[in-house]
């Protein structure tokens, strides 16, 4: 009888642990693996990150994960917010007419010879309830320039923690 009671206690503890893990995984945090080179140099192919699903409205330059039209999850940087006019002219980002520095791209510009994007573009206004996203590897990123703006309802969460590989563990700003 005592063995059955002990077995039942262990089973209950295991079920509670699995339940808590499921709640955390589906409602609070989730792992994601970076697939591709579109966020280089900030993120590398195969980096493993934690996505916080406890997100409110994304802020400019946050890194977000969202459901893309190809039934995949993409990871990109928020560039334009609802109502913004976004321009990229001569490799300089302008938002609402103001030039923005992108310090997260400085090292990459040096590696690439100071030019990350050779094509100029203008997005007159980001619609309400949407954001404009771009990969940091501007020449090789499938982002809002190709798939359009991202509906806020499609955002899975924000991410800024790389937890694998161990030598790359970091908090991204």
Question: At 111, which CATH number?
Answer: 2.10.109.10
Q: The domain containing residue 59 runs over which residues?
A: 2-171
Which active-site residues does the annotation give? 38, 76
CB 29 within 8 A of CB 53: yes
CB 36 within 8 A of CB 50: no
The percentage of the chain sitting over the pLDDT mark of 70, rounded to a whole number, equals: 89
| Domain total in the chain | 1
Q: How far apart are CA 123 and CA 145, in angstroms?
A: 9
CB 58 within 8 A of CB 153: no
CB 149 within 8 A of CB 160: no
Q: pLDDT, tens digit, for every residue of 97-156?
A: 999 988 877 777 767 665 666 677 888 899 999 999 999 888 888 899 989 999 999 999
Report pLDDT for 28.
Answer: 66
Report pLDDT for 118.
Answer: 66
């Amino acid at each position: 009888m005592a063995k059955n009671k002990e077995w039942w206690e262990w089973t209950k503890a295991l079920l509670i642990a699995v339940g808590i893990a499921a709640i955390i995984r589906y409602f609070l945090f989730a792992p994601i693996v970076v697939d591709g080179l579109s966020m280089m140099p900030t993120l590398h192919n195969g980096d493993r990150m934690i996505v916080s699903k406890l997100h409110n409205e994304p802020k400019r330059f946050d890194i977000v994960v969202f459901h893309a039209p190809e039934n995949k999850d993409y990871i990109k940087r928020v560039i334009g917010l609802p109502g913004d006019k976004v321009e990229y002219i001569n490799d300089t980002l302008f938002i609402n007419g103001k030039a923005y520095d992108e310090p997260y791209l400085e090292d990459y510009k040096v590696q690439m010879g100071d030019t990350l994007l050779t094509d100029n573009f203008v997005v007159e206004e980001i619609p309400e309830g949407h954001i404009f996203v771009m990969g940091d590897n501007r020449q090789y990123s499938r982002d809002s320039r190709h798939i359009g703006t991202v509906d806020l309802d499609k955002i899975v969460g924000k991410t800024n923690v790389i937890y694998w590989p161990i030598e790359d563990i970091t908090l991204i700003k």
